[in-house]
Amino acid sequence: MIPPPPALYRRDRLMRALVPVTNAYERLSRRGARRQPPVRAVDRTLRLVVDEVVHEAADVISLRLVDPSGAPLPLWQPGCHLDVLLPSGRRRQYSLCGDPADRRAYRIAVRRIDGGDGGSVEVHATLRKGSSVAVQGPRNAFPFLDVPSYLFLAGGIGITPILPMVRAAQARGADWRLVYTGRSRASMPFLAELSGDRVVVRTDDESGVPDPVELLAHAPDRATVYCCGPVPMIDGVRAVLGRRPLHFERFSPPPVVGGEPFVVRLARTGVTVPVASDRSVLAAVREVLPSVAYSCQQGFCGTCRVRVLPGEDEMSICRDRGSGLVVLDL
């Protein structure tokens, strides 16, 4: 039974009429069950093979990925990335850094980060010429727009999405500058593909740690800034940007640091899941409950908030942690 609406006007006939009208409409909607079309499952995974591995710089390799049957690959735009599904089950995003016009191959580049989360080490250790690799995408988290002038800022491996943007800007006749920073020339991939007086290569070992104001000083008039690099670089640039438009690649959720392991139990199924010290509750729960709702993965949007039983307390499972045994209303 639907209660009547709370009063706004003395009569409010139209608002009251919504009750019988919507009740009838709901009953009408039930007729849809008769010829319900089935949900068609869509497999978004591309099964590719590594066609070539190139050593690009210290700790950096690039991989050329092709379809084993030689079929053309889905189109992409500068700024797009692939989700690479590694044999261990890890899923990592890598920017496409090849030529969008080449429909036969994708190119990604990966810097090995020892002591990182292990994804890049796995790529370096396991992917060889001829290896099979499953990917999803391409998807675009760094859309490249057509504007008259650009300042591209790339820090280290952050050059990967910027590289196709630079080529597109050049082909379009835009006014652009690229400032490419890194520890040393030996650590910076693709230097050989970048030349000309629009490119500034700036290394820490020659010029010290870059200052964001100095980076922005290279901007042409009314430039739109595209920045990809380590988090401190992006934060530094954002802090001194003023009202210049800035596009930057948003990274995957911040890593969990200093967490203690604990256990959650899902009340509706009784399933118990351990939460490791370096993982979020969300990551652990998703393994047993793939349809769990979440969104921002930083704790602000509230999508993943669930009740902690018993009681009325809630937690955002993408960010909040507990101790011992936590029972969730899932």
Partner 1 sequence: MAEPENLVLQPRNVQFDWSSVPLHWVPGEPLTTHAINTLHLVLPEGERWFVHVFKQTLPLIADDKVREDVLGFIGQEAVHAEAHQGAADHLTAQGIDLGPFVAQIEWIFRSLLGDRELTGAARHQWLLERLSVIAAVEHFTAVLGQWVLDARALDAAGADPTMLDLLRWHGAEEVEHRSVAFDLYMHLDGRYLRRVRTMLVVAPVLGWLFVRSTRWLLRNDPTRPPRASWRAYFRAARRGLLPRPGQLLPATWRYLPRRYHPSQEGSTSQAVAYLASSPAAAAAS
Does position 263 bind partner 1 by CB under 8 A? no
193-212 exposure pattern, b = at least 16 Cβ within 10 A, e = fewer? ebeeebeebbbeeeeeebeb
The CA distance from 148 to 178, in Å, is 15
Does position 221 bind partner 1 by CB under 8 A? no
Touching partner 1, residues 225-244 (CB under 8 A): 238, 241, 243-244
The answer to whether 50 and 126 have CB atoms below 8 angstroms apart is no
Residue of 10, 11, 14, 206 interacting with partner 1 (CB under 8 A): 14
The 8-class DSSP code of residue 204 comes to: H
Contacting range for partner 1; rule: CB under 8 A; set: 106-114, 201-209, 260-268, 290-298: 290-298
Residue 151 neighbours by CB distance under 10 Å: 23
The CA distance from 187 to 203, in Å, is 10
Binding mask 91-120 for partner 1 (x = CB under 8 A): ------------------------------
CB of 168 to partner 1, least distance (A): 8
Q: Which is nearer to partner 1, 180 or 294 (CB)?
A: 294
Per DSSP (E only), the strands in 162-205 are 175-182, 199-203
Q: Which is nearer to partner 1, 19 or 191 (CB)?
A: 19
Tokens of 13: 């006939």
* Residues whose CB falls within 8 Å of the CB of residue 234, separated by 6 or more in sequence, listed in order: 227, 228, 248
The 8-class DSSP code of residue 177 comes to: E
Residue of 17, 24, 25, 255 interacting with partner 1 (CB under 8 A): 25
Q: Are strands 149-155 and 224-228 parallel, antiparallel or unpaired?
A: parallel
Q: Which helix (H) or strand (E) holds 283?
A: helix 281-288
Residue of 182, 188, 294, 316 interacting with partner 1 (CB under 8 A): 294
CB of 167 to partner 1, least distance (A): 13
Does position 37 bind partner 1 by CB under 8 A? yes
Does position 18 bind partner 1 by CB under 8 A? yes
89: closest CA among 110, 112, 130, 118? 118
CB of 145 to partner 1, least distance (A): 5
Binding mask 123-162 for partner 1 (x = CB under 8 A): -------------xxxxxx-xxxxx---------------
Provide the binding-site residues for partner 1, judged by CB under 8 A: 2-3, 5-8, 14-15, 18-19, 22, 25-26, 29-33, 36-37, 39-42, 44-45, 76-77, 79-80, 136-141, 143-147, 172, 224, 238, 241, 243-247, 250, 291-296, 298, 300-303
